[in-house]
Structure 1
Amino acid sequence: MPSSPVEQQAAVAAPLTTAAAAIAPVAPGTSTAPRETDARTALLRRVRAATGWPWASLELAEQLLPTSLGALAAERGTAVHLPDAAAAPETAGSPWVDGRIARTRALAAVPVTRPGGGLLAVIVARDEVPHPPSREREEALADLALLAASSVTADRQSRALSGLAAAVAAADQRVALAQAGLADRHDLLEAVLDTADVGVVALDAAGRVSVLSPLVRTWAGLPEDLDAPGAARAATTALCADPPGTVLSAVRGPLLGTLAAGGEAETELVFTSADGAAVTCVCRTRALTTGSGERSGVVASLTDVSAERAVRAELERSNAELEAFAGIAAHDLRSPLTVVDGYLEVLEDDAADRADARAVGWATTARRSAGRMASLLQGLLAYATAGAPSGAPQREVPLRPLLEAVLADLTVPEGAVVALPTTSPVLVGDPVQLHQLLTNLVGNALKFTRPGEPAVVTCAVEELPGAWELQVADQGPGVPTDQRAAVFRAFERGAHRTGTAPATGAAVAGHGLGLATAQRIVTRHGGRIALDETPGGGLTVRVRLPRQ
């Protein structure tokens, strides 16, 4: 045993220095638990040797409890040496002193602080018998606290490095997984772009091409042996330098416009592909943003509608020719038919003068057939005129005077009731076509009634946001739900053709052109027409026309 306090301190310091070195930082991922235990055991062994007391502990600052024996030294920031803790007021009630946990009498608690300040731990030595104060013991414990500071600091650094190494390893694993996921997504994107019949072009935030589908590469005439990055670079150059008429020059404006303004847009593009074919595309662009809302690029989808547009143009041309033919034929046939009817009228009068009932019957039948022919020609002419573009300027047309003019032109059956709206909103459209529209609707409502009952027609108007809804309701047989779409086709009368004329009870004459013509007029005015059931029975026609 060393005989002097100096020799005692030297004897304690040498093994502790070795123990502190054993707690030096280790390579990341290496476990430090055994070395930490060895170092702490060596330290506590030297504490017991320096004090001669049986119990010693190292209480880390983050693990200190209010009831701990080291808490007093931590609170004061200086060493606490008590010959008899039971006699000291600040420790007499501690469970470590009063027997609840232990019966400590002699107590030494020395703070372990880092060089720049700040508590790291507290060295605690105790015994269950009192011991008088000892300067040598206090100095030895102070020296051990200095050495313990280096040991605890090194241990903390080692644990931090170990945790950092584990975090880096975990981050590397997440990066590897993310890269694998990106590769899978890239392969999936390539597969989708290869099979899609829609062209796709995407730009990054700087306006460089980042994605180019095979269809766009074909339209642009890029070499097939170019890899994806090479094709993107070539497309970026073409996007800026191509003359008008190519796919990339055509899509340049929509892409850059949406990249600058954000949001979404849709436009129609026409360009010439690399093989010389004219292509019409619907281009839809959408700005791309990050999770924080920053603009990261823009993507455009190009849908080839060339074939659809060609079919539509041919259909419109064919329909225009048919409408023109129907209009010309109806117009040119009316004049000779008028002449025929005039001569038939003369023959009818002559037969009546001669009291030839048989000849009068023949003439009357012939005139009735001529009248039906004239009605058909009038309907055909109205149908063709409704389908042709109107050259008349759009005008303001008050509704009530328009309905009054329609009723003046129609033959209203005796006993029929026609209710007009109390208000007279101003419609905007072609006055002639609007007159024809209401003539057809009100005329149908007057014709189709229940047998033996007078016609009851209600004309109403309702104000809607941005539109007027005109309603013509009757109390006739109505139109079955499953036939309401069919009756808008030319020459289709539907089940309601079984209606009767209110005056005679005879079947209602007609050619199935009234609603077809009405639909054409409404469509030309940008509106909609629909059939509904009148409460209590009958048909209500609803026409919605925009205010402007």
Structure 2
Amino acid sequence: MTRALSPARAVAFAAAYVVLTLVGRATAIEGQVVSLVWPGSGVAFLWLLAESPRHVLRVLAPLLVLHFGVVVATGVSPLLGLFGAVSVTLQTAVAGLLLRRWCPTMLGAGGTQSIRSPRNLAATAGAAAVGCALGAVVGTLGLWLDGATVEALTPVAWFARHVVGVLTVGAVGHLAWEWHTQPIPARTHGGSRTELVLLWVLSVASTALLFVQPYPVVFLVIGFAVWSAARFRTFPAALHCLVLGGIALVLSLTGHGPFASIEDPVAEVLVSQLFMVAVLLTGLAVGALGDRVDELYAAATAARADAAEKAELLGEMTESMDEGLVVLDPDGRVERSNGASRRLAHRVSTATTDADALSELVGLLSDPAPSRTGAVRAELGVGDVVIALPSGEEVVLAVSRATLSRSSGSPGVLLVMREVTEHRSGLRPLAGFASTAAHDLRGPLSAIRSWLSLAVDDLEPGSEAAEPLRRAERASEQMGELIGDLLEHALAESGEIAAREVSITGSGGVLDQVSGLLGPEDVLEADPDLPSVRADPVAVRQLFGNLIGNAVKYARPGEPATITVRARRQGSRVVVEVEDHGVGVDDSERALIFQRFHRSGAVRAHFRGTGMGLSICQTIVQRHGGTIECLATPPGSGTVFRFDLPAAEPGREVSTGLSRGTIPP
């Protein structure tokens, strides 16, 4: 919001208006009381914009008094002086109000934007035209009431002199205001001081020469306006254009130049002022275009610098990563790599150069024969590649592959590799122990459950020992569930992985296989054309079985379960979402539910379970190189689980024919 104008500046505006009013009155020709030009309109317009909107009467009242006093003192009748004062005051108020409404972000209208933009310049011209048209009506009415001769050209001349004053003095003054209050960047490829001096000398001399000869070639002045605005900042260029137009107007008023041949002095001045406005608007338009080009150039330069900084940061980040990164071009050649990938390449290759070592490593990763893949080792994942070293040792790399889109249309490939030799070697004995222990515990537990069941059946009805035995029977059933989940988790974590194309929907698809978990009223919805995945079919069946089983178990009491499965291809992965409308998960629990044995208090109080199902799901997804998360949902809207699996590649299957333990659905 514009602050209230200080008294000193208000006095300065008032003095400027008085001086330019006297200049305008000096252009009145003999026998007429109306001036031919009125530059004071531009000062009045700026004066109003500089004042706060809440204090416009501090401008309009002095403006009315000053105008009336000056024109009456210079020979205008009091009646016409009053109508003239009302005309100027009205047009200034309307033009200022409209500009503040149309361009609230413009300097003087509540913001800081310049008149240099095409939109602001057009809005200023429109506001001035509306205000000056109303002023012309009032002024012409005053002339008629004062007994002066009123012709068809009279309101046009009145309108023209005031609108020209606003568009010339007002526009240049607004640019000077901006120049004084805001930093204005120089032209990106601007001219020097020597060029500026040369421009002024040539243009002033040429304009004077063009207006002292009778031939109509004054349009050549516009070339100097374009030169000025294209090479220098907009304010000095606009000031230069105003001076050239002023020279043309003064010479025309003194009877020089091609416009002097017009017999009607009013028409002559109208044409001269039109020429002056054309020169100035040409300079402003070219200046605005140059400013826009400079802004775009500055933005592009800043964007390039920012991109270079980000590229340097990205390079430092990738070099500091423990994971190896290799970017392949569409022909399979190594385009980029980081330090970790080069170290891995030299570890598995005997080549001496980085390029040869990387090429050999990429060749091993791009053609993972069954002897080098996770299909032959229970503890290895789908993306694991085993590479034998000359020393007899082996290196296990967890490798993921992603397609990189390019503007040229031919996609590249990103390989991400991480050495997991030690981690994978430690999984087999741990998982084997867990599997054996869980399996061996089932025998004695089954015997305990059988004897407890027989003991309960043999008791007489109402016996005091019946309830403790029933509790022991329920505890043994819960322990059986826990042992079963432990066995499933062990198999999920280290069971043999044999990846092949697996359909999610359709006859024999995963959803068809786990549909037996649904109750008679439960609903499972899925698009029949969901993309297939490349994964272990038993593990994927267990993954979907756990998620859909949870959706059925945790349905709202008294309501059937409604489950929706969605999937979409995203690069080399398939992103799957399983949504239900059950009891949901609190935001505070979403990050914890994948921990082993974790069960929230609300779920524990109303539903049975071991807290292992989602941990098993996470293990399966991670072994396939993906992640699983529970998405945030509005309270009471159910649960959405999102995970990703490798996308199926037609014609590719990895299977060894080895037997494996069965993971129950």
TM-score w.r.t. structure 2 length?
Answer: 0.34
Which has more helix, going by share of residues? 2
Higher Cα Rg, which structure: 1
Which has more strand, going by share of residues? 1
